[in-house]
Amino acid sequence: MREGVEDPKQKNYPSDFLYQVICWRLYLQPDSPEIENQWKEFSKSDENYRLYREKASKVCTYLTQLWRQAFEYKLHLDEGEEVKSEFLGFLWRYLLEWMGEGENLPEQKKYDLNKEAEDYTQLFQKKLQDELCAAIREIILNSQEPKLPDFSQESLKPLDENYKQNALTQGTKQDLDVGVQGLEEDIHQNQTLENQQTQANSALQEVDLKQSSPRPKLQPEENSQSMQSIGQWKYLPVSDEIDRHTDSHAKSIQLSEDSSIIGARVRGKKHKHDGTNCDDWFEFRTTGDWTIIAVSDGAGSKKFSRIGAKLACEAAVTQLSSDLKSHELCERSSLNEWEQALERNKSWDFLCQDINLVQEALHNAMRHSLKVIDKEVKRVYDSTTYFELNDHRRPEIGDFSATLLLAVHTSVNCGGNTFDFVLTCQVGDGMLAAIHQRGNLYLLGKPDSGEHAGQTDFITSKNKLDEANLKQKTFAFFNPLKALMVMTDGVADDYFPNNPGMLNLYGDLVLNQVIEIDKPEESSINETLEKTRLRNLASVRVAEERFRENFERILGDDLTDEPREVYLRSTADYAKELEKPIEEIIKSPELLGAGASGDPMWHGAQEKLPQERLKVWLDSYYKRGSFDDRTLVILYQGVKA
Amino acid sequence: MSRRLPVYLVLDCSGSMSGDPITAVSQGVKALLSDLRTDPQAIETAYLSVITFESVAKQVAPLTELMSFQEPVLISGGGTSLGAALKLLTQCIEKEVQKASETQKGDWKPLVFLMTDGQPTDSWESAAAELKQKRPANIIACAAGSGADEYMLKQVTESVVKLNNLQPDDLKAFFKWVTQSIKQTSQSVAQVMADPAINLPPPPPGIVIVP
């Protein structure tokens, strides 16, 4: 008998008990006189009884929907999702048997699946019971409707060998009691259908061993002590509202023979769990000799902030394109001249006009973005849709609050060598960073933080766009560039402190083959490795399992062409294995090349475009407490084409 | 190291809590724990600690992440050393809560739920004044039952609620409300707020906000 049922005091956990009562009434749990008695005790309290009715109603609605789908299938009323429906038809047969009408079923219909049909049949039954119990539990614990069970072919593979054995020993379809007992046994043994979770280790044990936080679980895990599930991150699509953003976006431009720019943004765990929009946005464009980048993060608490983010990026990039299209920097023949040119006076203006013009253009773009948002606010001021969505308040500019990070880049020839000129400007949080060709890190941003922890400023905040303030947030870079990265705080915070965290970020992108770099010769790599703890490439391969980990992604079911799991390397852990500091690794193409040798993040990743890989990586890497939307744009020197 | 939401439960375990009340409190803590464990955001953000006080104050559970948290055994008996509890709370916060620096993001402002059912038996006024002035945490105090003095608790913090009696059902409802508050806070801190203030869910019947 399951634990936690005997003691009447356990009724203090309404959820546990409600689950048991409801399952018991639906014959998903064995009968017992204790439950009857406990129910009598439990339902004495008005509050308890009300709670029962509330939860039972929800279960009722859910089950009705489930059977409805089955009947629609049987009566050919559905739209023909063949694979799924086949098994839904099973529900009706199951129901018939439940009611004892099994003998009316045509014999041949029972096994029309494949030669292992009998196993599959028991699998469906067991899975059905599992799914129903899990759904009921979820209804009781959470206020959201669980998704209807997935009975597609895909979800039943792979068939675990162990499980198949149990399925066979659980008895036949007709013997319902045995089936239910089997369910009980299974729960006690902590078995689930997922291959990955066939160990008896509960989530609790896993955490103790690793001393780190639980990975996102996609199925509720059962711990042997209680029936309550460990909270898992859900995936909910966004319900239709105005300006519904896509879950994610990725883009790239080839800038020259060996340099390109890629960018991606993804919806964070929190928004996926709540079914709300991604609040990030990015844009980039080339114009004349310039590359222009804009990244923005809408304020989480503001209703239309994602629209503010989008408008800000588009407006800024458009304005900068227009201002910089025919702008050329002066020719300077020596580095010395350039150093002088980049000096600023007391008012923080650049001494040289050609450079100062770029600063002015950046600030102009900031202000233009604000103007565009303001115009949009006026446009929707009288809209009833916006009014209703805004909790019955008229929209105002604060509801569109967003940060804005801008960067412009151009290549410069100086004394026969190519240099990269970058100018940045930032309002709000997030980060911009440049990595020198030789591997040194330059932070090109200073995040705003408001008075209190967790606060930041936005372009819509008071006085943020004052000239004096913007100049403080404008940074110049003039050096040969390995990579320029612009990101929202969803990424920046995960690599904090940013010095040297931004080097780890670049390292992670290289190690996971998101961006490909020129790999040195193997002999040269081994020579460099000899001076580290790992000695040679073979040792690096062996050590890889200590700096690489599997991650399950939180995805909607409709994304079938994306990997559900990825295998990611960590530069921080790689550095530990080599016993070398991160700075040294980033400076060394050999060490980076060694770390990046080996399998890609998932099978088939090399065939994808770099921005697709960036998108998957952004969507998959795990850092505890990191639930925000993630956006990253990188301009980098890659493999010579 | 990511930002954590530290949560301290400061619980009166004096003699008057013996019997049903202390059992209900134990179960309340247990229910709080398993309920929080169903929320993925709370799992990654909230860290819990329990401080008890009767004749002495003790931190019976140090600040721990939810998945590794072991429920402490609560035993009642003795006086009501609120002063000692407040001093210990200050010390624990000082020691355990991470401050923001160049190299690390600081923890979110801690949430403290303080519950007492009677008059303090030690000198507590200066410890209370210090807490109210320094505000190292968002403190919500609960005056449980007729023996508790909610106006006394107002000297510790502005946010005071009153439980009309110490019945198990009321204590259970109180802990449910505490759980909701923690969940709500852990969800809102993750957002970038233009105007962060802790907003608590409305208290259930039987719990009154003391104006």
Q: How confident is the model at residue B188 (pLDDT cuts 50, 70, 90)?
A: confident
Report how far residue A568's alpha carbon sits from residue A345's, in angstroms, rounded to the nearest whole number. Answer: 47
Among B165, B150, B159, smallest CA distance to B178 is for: B159
Interface test with B, best of A7, A11, A12 (most B CBs within 10 A): A12
CB-nearest partner of B38 from A141, A302, A625? A141
- Residue B114: per-residue pLDDT: 95
Give the residue-averaged pLDDT of A545-566.
89
Instruction: List, in order, residues 6 or more apart from A588 with CB less than 8 Å away.
Output: A439, A528
B104 and chain A in contact, CB less than 8 A:
yes
Report how far residue B129's alpha carbon sits from residue B132's, in angstroms, rounded to the nearest whole number. Answer: 5
Better-predicted residue by pLDDT, B189 or A253: A253
Distance from CA of A9 to the nearest CA of B (A): 10
Give the residue-averaged pLDDT of A593-622.
94
- Residue A30: per-residue pLDDT: 67
Which pLDDT tens digit goes with each residue over A173-214?
A: 333 333 333 333 333 333 333 333 333 333 333 333 333 334
Cβ contact A301–B192 (<8 Å): yes
**Residues 6-65 (B) with a CB less than 8 A from some CB of A:** 24, 27, 31, 34-35, 37-45, 65
Q: How confident is the model at residue A358 (pLDDT cuts 50, 70, 90)?
A: very high
Least confident of A402-406, A516-520, B125-129, B194-198: B194-198
Cβ contact A12–B37 (<8 Å): no
Among A129, A186, A194, smallest CA distance to A157 is for: A194
Give the residue-averaged pLDDT of B38-65.
94
Let me know: does A147 contact A155? Beta carbons within 8 Å.
Answer: no
- Residue A125: per-residue pLDDT: 56
Show residues of chain A in contact with B190, CB under 8 Å. 270, 300, 625, 627-628
Q: How confident is the model at residue A110 (pLDDT cuts 50, 70, 90)?
A: very low
- Residue A563: per-residue pLDDT: 92
Average confidence score pLDDT of chain A: 79
Pairs of CB atoms within 8 A across A/B: 112
Among A73, A127, A69, A121, smallest CA distance to A97 is for: A121
B70 and chain A in contact, CB less than 8 A:
no
- Residue A462: per-residue pLDDT: 79
* Minimal-distance CA residue of chain B relative to A500: B103
Report whether pLDDT(A149) > 50: yes
Let me know: does A640 contact A518? Beta carbons within 8 Å.
Answer: yes
Distance from CA of A233 to the nearest CA of B (A): 6
Better-predicted residue by pLDDT, A430 or A158: A430
- What is the residue type of A170? Q
- Residue A251: per-residue pLDDT: 93
Instruction: List, in order, residues 6 or more apart from A154 with CB less than 8 Å away.
Output: none
Better-predicted residue by pLDDT, A455 or A614: A614
Better-predicted residue by pLDDT, A89 or A53: A53
Distance from CA of A598 to the nearest CA of B (A): 29
B133 and chain A in contact, CB less than 8 A:
no
Better-predicted residue by pLDDT, A252 or A225: A252
Show residues of chain B in contact with A297, CB under 8 Å. 192
CB atoms under 10 Å from CB of A526, counted, come to 17
Tokens at residue A488, please?
Answer: 């929202």
Cβ contact B196–A204 (<8 Å): no
Rounded to 5°, angle at Cα A334 from A332 and A339: 85
- Residue A631: per-residue pLDDT: 97
- Residue A42: per-residue pLDDT: 83
B67 and chain A in contact, CB less than 8 A:
yes
Rounded to a whole number, what is the distance in angstroms from the first to the last CA of chain B? Answer: 38
Let me know: does A631 contact A282? Beta carbons within 8 Å.
Answer: yes
Whole-Å CA distances, A382 to A359, A379, A395, A542: 37, 8, 9, 64
- Residue A91: per-residue pLDDT: 63
B75 and chain A in contact, CB less than 8 A:
no
Q: How confident is the model at residue A38 (pLDDT cuts 50, 70, 90)?
A: confident
CB-nearest partner of A624 from B2, B34, B172? B2
- Highest mean pLDDT, choosing among A118-122, A574-578, B192-196: A574-578
Show residues of chain A in contact with B35, CB under 8 Å. 15, 228
- Residue A77: per-residue pLDDT: 75
Distance from CA of A455 to the nearest CA of B (A): 6
- Highest mean pLDDT, choosing among A113-122, A384-393, A577-586: A577-586
HEC sequence for B67-127: HHCCCCCCCCCCCCCHHHHHHHHHHHHHHHCCCCCCCCCCCCCCEEEEEECCCCCCCCHHH
Sheet containing B111-116: order of strands:
B57-65, B46-53, B5-12, B111-116, B138-144, B159-163, B207-210
Percentage of residues in chain B having pLDDT higher than 90: 66
Least confident of A109-123, A354-368, B99-113: A109-123
